């Protein structure tokens, strides 16, 4: 079991949406929360919200796609807060357009934030965890990391990579004998945050638009129970099974039947 109380917990992308809700709940549980994000004003508001309810929080402007910035900020966190016990890699971006409509720089940004950012943050804080043989690293991936989705070539590719990163890290830690360091990969369907504004989903009983609070609760419970993988909603567990046993054309038709490849047609995303 991972106890949150008194632990230093970093949440990247923590000044809004899922990350902010997670930071607030972690603080309620007694975590010493550290928020990474890009907007100093939004970070300050998130920190003030946590402190107003009696929690402990600090915020740092940090672009996780910038390797040097991540390493420099990590030095500040160690000096000002202490060694990190729980790292939650939540920061992410999405384009939501057909491949040929995505500017090259947007594709690079998706990969830099959603994939390379994982490497820089983990390399910043893993060494101290290895010395103690304790800690917890959470990768917020996506159900789009289990199957390709129309209008998500950059996002889905990045989340496939995120899942591969998390699984490889788990294997590496286990092989080296650092079994005290736990990892969790979270693979949710669409969440009702501004990031996915405009997406459509059907049938709602099997593939609902997930409530932000629900994902936060499931993620924190997975941290507390050292659960290595979380797929939300439960129907997502069928995806790898169907891919393994069905011919590709049949699997594609099933995805079409459930509206997966139409889900992004009216995507707007976060206006920010």
Cβ proximity of 147 and 260 under 8 Å: yes
Return d(Cα 261, Cα 135) in angstroms, integer.
Answer: 38
Return d(Cα 213, Cα 205) in angstroms, integer.
Answer: 18
182: which 2 tokens? 């736990």
**Residues 6 or more apart whose Cβ sits within 8 Å of residue 10:** 34, 35, 36, 77, 84, 86, 87, 88, 121, 125
CA dihedral 54, 58, 59, 63 (to 10 degrees): -130
- 25 φψ region: left (φ > 0), alpha (ψ -120 to 50), beta (else): alpha
Q: How many helices (H) and strands (E) does the chain have?
A: 9, 7
Out of 36, 60, 155, 190, which one is annotated catalytic?
Answer: 155
233 CB-side CA count, 13 A: 14
- Largest Cα separation within the chain, whole Å, is 55
Q: Identify the DSSP state of 112.
A: I
- Tell which residue, 88, 94, 90, 91, has the closest CA to residue 197: 94
155 is catalytic: yes
Cβ proximity of 271 and 243 under 8 Å: no
Catalytic residues, which ones? Answer: 155
């Amino acid at each position: 079991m991972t106890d949150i109380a008194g632990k230093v917990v970093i949440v990247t992308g923590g000044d809004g949406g899922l990350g902010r809700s997670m930071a607030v709940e972690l603080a309620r549980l007694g975590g010493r929360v550290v928020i990474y994000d890009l907007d100093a004003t939004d970070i300050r508001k998130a920190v003030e919200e946590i402190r107003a309810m009696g929690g402990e929080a600090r915020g740092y402007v940090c672009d996780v796609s910038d390797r040097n910035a991540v390493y420099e900020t990590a030095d500040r966190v160690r000096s000002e807060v202490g060694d990190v016990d729980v790292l939650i890699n939540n920061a992410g971006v999405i384009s939501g357009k057909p491949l040929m409509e995505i500017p090259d720089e947007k594709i690079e940004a998706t990969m830099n934030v959603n994939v390379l950012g994982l490497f820089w943050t983990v390399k910043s804080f893993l060494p101290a965890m290895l010395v103690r043989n304790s800690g917890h690293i959470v990768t917020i991936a996506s159900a789009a990391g289990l199957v390709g989705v129309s209008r998500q070539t950059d996002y889905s590719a990045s989340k496939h990579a995120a899942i591969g990163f998390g699984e490889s890290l788990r294997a590496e830690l286990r092989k080296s004998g650092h079994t005290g360091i736990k990892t969790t990969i979270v693979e949710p369907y669409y969440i009702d945050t501004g990031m996915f504004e405009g997406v459509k989903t059907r049938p709602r009983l099997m593939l609902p638009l997930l409530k932000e609070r629900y994902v936060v609760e499931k993620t924190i419970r997975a941290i507390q129970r050292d659960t290595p993988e979380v797929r939300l909603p439960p129907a997502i567990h069928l995806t790898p099974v169907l891919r393994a046993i069905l011919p590709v054309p049949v699997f594609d038709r099933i995805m079409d039947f459930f509206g997966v490849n139409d889900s992004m047609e009216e995507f707007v995303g976060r206006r920010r």
